[in-house]
Structure 1
Amino acid sequence: MLKGKRGLVIGVANADSIAYGCAVKLRAFGADVALTYLNDKAKQYVAPLADQIDASLLLPLDVTQPGQMQSVFDRIRADWGRLDFVIHSIAFAPRADLHGRVVDCSQAGFLQAMQVSCHSFLEMARLAEPLMTQGGTLITMSYYGADKVVNNYNMMGPVKAALEASVRYMAKELGAQGIRVFAVSPGPLRTRAASGIAQFDELIDMAVTRSPGQRLVDIAEVGRVVAFLAGPASSGMTGDVVYIDAGLHNMA
């Protein structure tokens, strides 16, 4: 389904990362992938995973560091000459701000969360656009807390809401170039990033109890949907938030 496609996957931290689940399935369906790692400490965990899936490129990327994102896309241009998809699976909020009330979050913490979790996706789209000469797909990761209030999700709710709104506007602006844009919204998963949410075990228990299937989804299920969105079978779709949560978002 994806043979001959080339794409960039951002956000692999370990084997439990949503980004890694996506990378595995994208490779399984035939795509070449480039992975990134946050810093030298993270590289020791990401490099073996890149080897396991025979990733074509492994590049450093900290979106808070000026010039690093440009360097990633320059390398892709030099090595590949084009790009077919980008998977954006990163988010961050300072713990003190994340664990407090939304009305109490600091300006610095809110701006940092917006930069890493939302604006970096806009910046990636701007850099990817000239490389998507035959169209392409941009996919980011959201969560149900963008649409409804979820206990302890706190400041990340408004941040993810901004991300989902950005997806709709990007889809409109890039549609004429054949570039489609999506937010994928998985149910709660035990990832390193999610562990920063207060009382996360309660969120997990709620998802199992309330979802129609009374279960969690896994990163492989997310990866399969991402592969579908990156491929030709989803050509009639763009601008959507696609839920992968065993139906949890439908429950009142």
Structure 2
Amino acid sequence: MSLTDRRLLVTGVASPESIAYAVAERALDDGAHVTLTAPPRDLDRCRDLAHTLPGDVAVVCADLTSTEDLDALQRRLRADGGPLHGAVHAVAYAPAEALDGPFVEAGQAGVELAFRTSAWSLAGLARAVAPLFPAGGGSLVGMTFHSDGAWATYNWMGVCKSALEATNRYLARDLGTVGARANLVAAGPLHTRAAGGIPGFDALLDAWERQAPLRWDATDPGPVADATLFLLDDASRAITGEVLHVDAGFHAMAGAVRSA
């Protein structure tokens, strides 16, 4: 597996603990050319993090919920020259009211913001990058979380993740007509900046401790990043519409396999 000289776009690099940062770092180590995007609120932080990555990393300001920003991102990537071989969608957000408390009490505006940021933006990114994919190729990879059941918290973000997975299937359908792929990686819980906004995050860690047959390290995004690189590489050229679980086997178990 090699990403040497591949051009990749990675969104969502906002902290060194993030999955997106680990993906960018490993891709650069493997010889890829990487461009990062960040919304205005995270732009300075992303630029600082870019300086800690190996190699020359470009940073583009882009809010993935804005069609204007996505159009500008496409123009910038096109101006850089050459095809774009892959893009990583690692963006999600929901206000606190959409994550915890009575499910039906969340305000409409908060739910709409969560959906637009966490699900619609995958389709928006696809619209921006797909025309830049090489003929008969290209890979879009997004991040999701176990969405087959209702958690004690997570609420509307759980709904958004289900919508994200449906979005991925439809993108796989349409991108397949030009030979491009769309897949998701379903990661176990990780200590990222996003996790800090999830009420009851420790309860998720406890669930993984009891139910995952393999031991799960919530401080190590490396396994998720490695799976993402596989989906960006030609080694996964016949895989699309997939949700690849990198969660120590949690999703496959019907119940606890050990005591906490």
**Residue-pair matches, total:** 250
Listed as ranges, the matches of 1:6-21 within 5 Å are 6-21=7-22
Q: Which moved more, 1:55-64 or 1:223-232?
A: 55-64
The corresponding residue for 1:48 is 48
Other structure's SS at 2:150 match? coil
Distance 1:26 1:147 in 2: 31
Distance 2:114 2:189 in 1: 19
The corresponding residue for 1:220 is 222
The corresponding residue for 1:251 is 253
Other structure's SS at 1:238 match? coil
Q: CA offsets, 1:165-216, max 9 Å, x none?
A: 1111110111021110001100000111111111111211221232112323
Distance 2:66 2:239 in 1: 33
Other structure's SS at 2:155 match? coil
Other structure's SS at 1:155 match? helix
Q: What is the Cα deviation at residue 65 of structure 1?
A: 4.3
For the aligned residues, what is the CA RMSD? Answer: 1.5
Q: What is the Cα deviation at residue 55 of structure 1?
A: 4.2
> Would the aligned equivalents of 1:35 and 1:55 in 2 still touch at CA under 8 Å?
no
- Could you tell me the percent identity over the aligned residues? 38
Q: What is the Cα deviation at residue 97 of structure 1?
A: 2.1
Distance 1:55 1:67 in 2: 26
TM-score (norm 2): 0.91
Q: What residue ranges of structure 2 are gaps of 5+ in the alignment?
A: 255-260
Distance 2:251 2:92 in 1: 21
Q: Which moved more, 1:166-175 or 1:95-104?
A: 95-104
Distance 1:29 1:106 in 2: 44
TM-score (norm 1): 0.94
> Would the aligned equivalents of 1:101 and 1:155 in 2 still touch at CA under 8 Å?
no
The corresponding residue for 2:185 is 184
Q: What is the Cα deviation at residue 3 of structure 1?
A: 1.0
Distance 1:120 1:64 in 2: 6
The corresponding residue for 2:258 is none
The corresponding residue for 2:257 is none
Distance 1:65 1:159 in 2: 18
Distance 1:56 1:76 in 2: 13
Distance 2:170 2:98 in 1: 28
Distance 1:55 1:46 in 2: 14
